[in-house]
Structures are given as C-alpha cells and as structure tokens.
C-alpha cells in the first residue's frame, strides 16, 4: 500500500506513552505526526483565559499549539472538559482528517483517532497502562518541571480524567475493534516502540 494513503491511529489514556511512541513511530517511517491532544489543550488554554469553548476551537491556529503552558495540569483538565462538547469536537474534525490523509503518511495520536477521527486508518494502536503507573510517570514529569504537587493529587487527576474520557457520550475513550493493544505498564520506551512498529509493519505488509 502507498504511504501517500497510509494513516496510523494511536489512541490511549493520559500518560500511557502514546505521545512518545507516536513520535518514534513517525520518525521510523518518515511520516508526519500530530498530537491531537494539543488541539484540545490549546482550546482549553483559551477557555481558561475567558474565551468560549466553541469560539476558541473555531479560531484555533497552528501557532497556538506551541505554548509551553499547554502541558500544565490546569490546561490538561480544561482540555478534558472542552473535549466532551460535541460542537468543539466537530470544529476540530476537519483539521484532523485533512492531516491524516496528507501525502507521505501520517501518525495521529489522541483518544478517538481509530474510532471516530480516522475509522479507516490502515493501522491502529491502543496504548494503555495501569492508573498507578501513569500517575507515577506524570508525577515525575511535573516534579522535574518544578511543580509542587503530591502523587495522590496526580493520581486523583488521572482517575478523574479517565472517567470523564471513558464515560462521555461523544467519542468515548475505547480501543477500536481492530486495534492492537499495547500495555506499557512493564515495558521500557524501546520495548513499547518496537511493539508498535512490529504491529504497524504487519499491516503495511
């Protein structure tokens, strides 16, 4: 199959490792990469500044995806809240689908890429890990960045976000029926990336 029409959808909950895996996979195959979560984080950041969610989604521009503040816990929670709004999801849909079918192949990671955004993606991966493991990873990242936060608070945030993403009526977080699931709870980065590449190469073959 031509890479001009090859889309890789990588989904999973927060801090499961899908972003790291997606970037490595994109580099391995020479595909472009889009972290779709940044779209919602950018919208969430604008909402925290007082803008209406739908207006923020409609005015989204590429330069708004570069802000260092997009990785903060406050923006992450705001992103999760705006992501349940159907009108916001619809406003961002065309951007994501256009990116997915770009020439040269594309890797998109998020929470509903394989189920809603690109249900016809040629390869689908669902990356997961236990809540404790994911919270520990996020906690270590935040502490390294100088945040004053407890592990218990991070774990509570992870569980709250999981529930909101999983139980929302619009595009809930779940693996696509034909997705390959990779549990990274006991895998290092190299092992997780290798597992994803192996699954994708099987689909390309």
Does residue 112 have a pLDDT over 70? yes
Does residue 5 have a pLDDT over 80? no
Q: Can you say which residues are annotated as belonging to the binding site?
A: 12-20
Q: What are the residues whose beta carbons fall under 8 Å from the beta carbon of 185, sequence distance 6 or more?
A: 129, 130, 133
Does residue 160 have a pLDDT over 60? yes
Q: Can you say which residues are annotated as belonging to the binding site for ATP?
A: 12-20
Q: Are the CB atoms for 70 and 38 separated by under 8 Å?
A: yes
Under CATH, which number does the domain 3-204 receive? Answer: 3.40.50.300
Does residue 2 have a pLDDT over 50? no
Q: Is 178 strand, coil or helix?
A: coil
Across the range 43-47, mean pLDDT stands at 96
């Amino acid at each position: 199959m031509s890479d001009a029409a090859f889309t890789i959808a990588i989904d999973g909950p927060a801090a499961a490792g899908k972003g790291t895996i997606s970037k490595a996979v994109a580099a391995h195959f020479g595909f472009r990469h889009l972290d779709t979560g940044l779209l919602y984080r950018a919208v969430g950041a604008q909402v925290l500044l007082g803008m209406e969610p739908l207006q923020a989604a409609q005015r989204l521009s590429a330069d708004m995806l570069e802000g260092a503040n997009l990785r903060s816990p406050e923006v992450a929670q705001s992103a999760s809240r705006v992501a349940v709004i159907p009108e916001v999801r619809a406003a961002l849909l065309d951007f994501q689908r256009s990116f997915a079918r770009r020439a040269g192949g594309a890797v998109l990671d998020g929470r509903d890429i394989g189920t809603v955004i690109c249900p016809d993606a040629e390869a689908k991966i669902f990356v997961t890990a236990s809540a404790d493991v994911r919270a520990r990873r996020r906690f270590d990242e935040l502490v390294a960045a100088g945040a004053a936060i407890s592990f218990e608070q991070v774990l509570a945030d992870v569980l709250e976000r999981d529930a909101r993403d999983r139980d929302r009526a619009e595009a809930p977080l779940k693996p696509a029926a034909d997705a390959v699931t990779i549990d990274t709870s006991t895998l290092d980065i190299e092992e997780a990336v290798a597992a994803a590449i192996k699954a994708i190469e099987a689909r390309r073959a």
